[in-house]
Amino acid sequence: MADVTFTSHKEEAIKAVSEAMARALEICGGKAETYAKQLAPVGTPESTGIPGYHGGTLRNSITHEQWDEKTEVIGSTVDYSKFVELGTYKMKARPFLRPAAENHGAEYKAVIERELAKLNN
């Protein structure tokens, strides 16, 4: 009887799946960032009472970042973003981050499935 040798490709498979997930998360993060920027309120001279005011700081501060192979974070670098997102006792909430993440779940799932499907090719 001939000797049979089995070769494990477990490590390569794990690496390929991790890389596919990283790509998928980056794509989803970019999409969520775009959606959040579309939803972010932008101040105007009328809304602020400041003549000549040019808004957009909040919108321009929105970004996404991959923290690890399972976590993509979308957020803003300006301190007041939490007050806009969640509201205060003086101001109603105007969510832009949560809807950008939650309202496009089917699209994000499709991106992940597409990136993982590429492993079969």
Q: What is the pLDDT of residue 1?
A: 60
Residue 90 main-chain phi, psi, to 5 deg? -100, -10
Structure tokens at 73: 């974070």
3 state SS of 80:
coil
Q: Evaluate whether 42 touches 56 at the Cβ level (below 8 Å).
A: yes
Instruction: Please list the ranges in the chain whose pLDDT falls under 70.
Output: 1-2, 6, 121
Q: What is the pLDDT of residue 48?
A: 83
Q: What is the pLDDT of residue 30?
A: 97
pTM value? 0.85
Q: What is the pLDDT of residue 69?
A: 80
